[in-house]
Amino acid sequence: KQEVTQIPAALSVPEGENLVLNCSFTDSAIYNLQWFRQDPGKGLTSLLLIQSSQREQTSGRLNASLDKSSGRSTLYIAASQPGDSATYLCAVRSGAQKLVFGQGTRLTINP
Amino acid sequence: DVKVTQSSRYLVKRTGEKVFLECVQDMDHENMFWYRQDPGLGLRLIYFSYDVKMKEKGDIPEGYSVSREKKERFSLILESASTNQTSMYLCASSPDGLAGVTDTQYFGPGTRLTVL
């Protein structure tokens, strides 16, 4: 059974810092891995999707990497801003249409 | 833009009531999903549907049922609401086939359900 773990559960950093969020998964047989953002009391917004054949994806200040063999992904956020404060969720698709989610990292950027 | 809407943002019900949560998507997606999200437990899949009138149980289907009579609409039903069903409920949709492998799931804004 696929399990997804995100470390740390919470992170607080000053504005302007570069930071890395971590995601690990137990079964390397995946179709893709996705990073989502969730603002308090809201739904999820897709940030980046990495196919199993890809190593990384970039969107603006965000860069996500995937190392399938070791079961790890990282989300790198450059020059963090207070507006980046949210919960970041990692999810893997390893069968059918279902996604398996980690529990998220709650990120706070302090002005 | 894909749009997934949910009928209510906040809902308060009494124990034993029958509760309907509605979800509508406007992108002609084949797949639709219902999740619940609880602190410390993350998102858990309740049910999903890959076509009209088709459904499959997710990880936590007990106490819930679903209905999909039209492609764009997927309903979650709590036959007899209980306090342990107090949660945030999220609906999502995604395309099928090759697009389903390369595309993401699109989420609605969520319904915060409180059962008293």
Pairing of strands B111-115, B73-78: unpaired
B43 has a chain A CB within 8 A of its CB: yes
Cβ pair B25, B2 in contact under 8 A: yes
Checking if the pLDDT of A90 tops 70, the result is yes
Cβ pair B14, A73 in contact under 8 A: no
Through-space distance between the first and last CA atoms of chain B, rounded to whole angstroms: 37
Per-residue model confidence (pLDDT) at position B100: 57
Report how many Cβ contacts below 8 Å link chain A to chain B: 52
Q: Say which of B33, B92, B101 has its CB closest to residue A31.
A: B101
The answer to whether the Cβ–Cβ distance between A98 and B31 falls below 8 Å is no
Measured CA distances, A25 to A66, A95, A111, B95 (Å): 11, 14, 33, 24
**Residues from chain A contacting residue B36 (CB–CB below 8 Å):** none
- The whole-number average pLDDT for the span A3-26 is 96
The rounded distance, in Å, linking the Cα atoms of B90 and B112 is 9
Sorting pLDDT into bands at 50, 70 and 90, what band is B40?
confident
To which residue do tokens 């998220």 refer? Answer: A104
- The whole-number average pLDDT for the span B88-103 is 78
The answer to whether the Cβ–Cβ distance between A43 and B96 falls below 8 Å is no
When scoring B6, B50, B105 by the number of chain A Cβ atoms within 10 A, the one with the most, hence best to mutate, is: B105
The answer to whether the Cβ–Cβ distance between B104 and A31 falls below 8 Å is no
pLDDT tens per residue across span A42-88: 899 999 999 999 999 999 999 999 999 999 999 999 999 999 999 99
Cβ pair B54, B70 in contact under 8 A: no
When scoring B104, B112, B114 by the number of chain A Cβ atoms within 10 A, the one with the most, hence best to mutate, is: B104
Q: To the nearest whole number, what is the mean pLDDT of chain A?
A: 94
User: How close does chain A come to B62, measured CA to CA in Å?
Assistant: 18
pLDDT tens per residue across span B103-115: 788 999 999 999 9
Measured CA distances, A78 to A6, A13, A15 (Å): 19, 12, 10
The answer to whether the Cβ–Cβ distance between B43 and A89 falls below 8 Å is yes
**Nearest-CA residue of chain B relative to A44?**
B107
Which residues pair with residue A95 across a beta bridge? A98
Per-residue model confidence (pLDDT) at position B53: 86
Per-residue model confidence (pLDDT) at position B97: 64
Structure tokens at A55: 């190593």
Q: Say which of A51, A97, A99 has its CB closest to residue B102.
A: A51
Checking if the pLDDT of B15 tops 80, the result is yes
The answer to whether the Cβ–Cβ distance between B106 and A46 falls below 8 Å is yes
Measured CA distances, B61 to A7, A54, B8, B17, B34 (Å): 28, 34, 21, 18, 10
B42 has a chain A CB within 8 A of its CB: yes
What count of other Cβ atoms lies within 10 Å of the Cβ of residue A31?
Answer: 17
